[in-house]
Amino acid sequence: MTIDAGEMALVYLHCECYKNVTLDKLHKRWLEMRKVFYSAILLLAGVFFMSACGGNNDDERQEVTFENVRLAFIHPGNIYDRGYTYRQHDGTLAMAAALGIDPETQIRNFWTRLSPDEVTTSIEEAIAWGADMIFATSFGHGPPMLEAARNNPDIMFHHATGNLAVDANLPNFHNYFGNMSQARYMSGIAAGLRTETNVLGFVAAHPNSEVITGLTAFFLGAQSVNPDVRMYVQFMGVWNNPTLESQIAQALIDQGADVLGQHADSPATQLVAQENGVWSVGYNNCVIAEAPDATLVAPMFVWEIYLNEAVRNFVEGRGNPTDFIRGWNEGMVVLSDFNTNTIAPGTVEAVVTAEAQIRAGRNVFTGPIYGYRNIGPQAWSDTPEQLLAPGEEWIEPMSAPSWAHRVSGIIFLN
């Protein structure tokens, strides 16, 4: 009796199912069934072959118009996070409404795609669906997006928060971002005026330069109105984990912080502040409904500023810039409405003053700034050095924020 590999597999399966059946009976069964088995394989191969041939028939693309352009969005979370992705999707819908694009049929969203293989699969799905432009919205989406841009020169790839486009210099790979530091700075003013213990707490996601730039701008804003302020920062290592966010927020409050800031995707920090009777500054969504007695204000992105321009440029045959950044003056970053029940007296006036300066071109990162160069072990050395001389400005080299120094007064707790 000879047994081949397919037979072995079947024998194994049968042994699992019918433990009492003898090998002879199994062999007999195999002989009965092998025709079915082989014809099923043939059928599958045929289907595969036909679908592979059939896939190539839309070689000649129609001219792209607003009525037929197809856009795919890859998000790290979903709109129910009531934070970052929620805000991103708001921008998508606003862009669709402005340009007359049907969000049901012409836009496809891929939610909660974080790991590179998930992103790669989503890109493949989007291409198979016929996407003309693919947008990815999380920093970690960068490498698979770049890879796909190299392999698909006909499709436009747009990556928010990323930093790979300048070096790659491909015609179809773009980075875009808003200058969040400006809005962060202004929200920091609200925090600096509100605090009574002069200790701020910051629930931070990843220890990367996007987060550090943001929290530094927030701190500089607070410091500009309250020179005695200090800020504790705890990093999580993930973008979105409500439990972790709330436990860290509680710990920061227990260590004396009375105004919390956040660079994390859920509103948990705001809720903990509400529960403890302290204050908080949101991010991307002002959650006055959730935390009416805690939330002061929230800095937010307005993504449609870029999306409108990028989609219009593409459809009308103009190119898009490799690296795109807009800020406060163009409305790419804004502040939410102030929560008038919680802000300290004089907050609106102080923010209006700062806003006028920023509108006139004042850089948030203007010296003198003291601190510790680079994060890493040396960031805990004892003597701060001068990072920026008085009057010296630090100009962001590209759209992705890249400030990575610890300013005196900010304390990294991990």
Residue 110: CB minimum distance to another protein, A: 16
Cα 322 to its chain centre, rounded Å, is: 19
CB 102 within 8 A of CB 166: no
Residues 69-98 that bind another protein (CB under 8 A): 77-78, 80-82
Q: Which of 231/325 has CB closer to another protein?
A: 231
Amino acid at position 208, single letter: N
Per DSSP, the residues of 358-383 read HHTT--SSBS-EEEESSSSGGGG-SS
> Residue 71 is inside which H or E element, if any?
strand 71-74
Sole binder of another protein in the list 68, 121, 197, 241 (CB under 8 A)? 241
- Residues from 267 through 306 that contact another protein (CB under 8 A): 267-268, 271-272, 274-275, 289-290
Q: Which is nearer to another protein, 271 or 315 (CB)?
A: 271
Question: From the list 247, 308, 366, 402, which residue makes contact with another protein (rule: CB under 8 A)?
Answer: 247
For another protein, give the closer residue by CB, 77 or 299: 77
Residue nearer to another protein on the CB measure, 36 or 289? 289
For the chain, helix (H) and strand (E) counts, in that order, are 12, 16
Contact segment (CB under 8 A) with another protein among 94-102, 249-257, 302-310, 383-391 equals: 249-257
Answer yes or no whether residue 242 interacts with another protein by CB under 8 A.
yes
Nearest distance in Å: CB 276, another protein:
8
Q: Which is nearer to another protein, 321 or 371 (CB)?
A: 371
- Residue ranges in 376-395 that form contacts with another protein under rule CB under 8 A: 377, 380
How many CB atoms lie under 10 A from the CB of residue 314? 18
Residues 168-227 that bind another protein (CB under 8 A): none
Shortest distance (Å) from residue 57 CB to another protein: 37
Q: Which of 26, 248 has the CB closer to another protein?
A: 248
* CA torsion through residues 334, 339, 344, 345, sign: positive
DSSP of 144-203:
HHHHHHHH-TTSEEEEET---HHHH--TTEEEEEE-HHHHHHHHHHHHHHH-SSSEEEEE
Q: Which one, 210 or 265, has the nearer CB to another protein? A: 265
Give the integer Cα–Cα distance in Å for 238 and 263: 10
Among 163, 209, 240, 336, interactor with another protein by CB under 8 A: 240
| Closest by CA position to 221, among listed 195, 239, 257, 246 | 195
Determine the interface stretch with another protein among 121-129, 220-228, 247-255, 310-318 (rule: CB under 8 A): 247-255
* Closest approach of another protein to the CB of residue 289, in Å: 4
Query: Which range binds another protein by CB under 8 A, 173-181, 214-222, 244-252, 353-361?
Result: 244-252
- Sorted by sequence, the CB contacts under 8 Å of residue 229 that are 6+ apart come out as 192, 195, 198, 199, 200, 219, 222, 223, 409
- Of 250, 308, 357, 366, the one binding another protein by CB under 8 A: 250
- The H-or-E segment that residue 234 falls in is strand 230-235
Nearer to another protein, 240 or 363 (CB): 240
The pair of structure tokens assigned to 2 is 């000879």
- Indicate which single residue of 255, 308, 366, 408 sits in contact with another protein (rule: CB under 8 A): 255
Of 44-52, 125-133, 260-268, 329-337, which part binds another protein (CB under 8 A)? 260-268
Question: Of 75 and 174, which has the nearer Cβ to another protein?
Answer: 75
Pair of tokens at residue 102: 């049907």
User: Of 129, 124, 90, 91, whose CA–CA distance to 108 is shortest?
Assistant: 129
Give the C-alpha separation, 397 to 401, whole Å.
8
Q: What's the gap between Cα 215 and its chain centre?
A: 16
Give the nearer residue to another protein in terms of CB position, either 241 or 366: 241
Q: Specify the residue for token string 């990367």.
A: 208
Question: Interaction with another protein in 360-379: which residues (CB under 8 A)?
Answer: 377
Q: Shortest approach of another protein to residue 89 CB, angstroms?
A: 13
Among 71, 131, 231, 236, binds another protein (CB under 8 A): 236
Q: Which residues in 295-373 belong to E strands, given as ranges? A: 299-301, 323-326, 333-335, 369-372
Cβ proximity to another protein: between 86 and 157 the closer is: 86
Interface residues with another protein (CB under 8 A) are 77-78, 80-82, 232, 234-237, 240-243, 245-248, 250-252, 254-255, 266-268, 271-272, 274-275, 289-290, 377, 380, 411-414
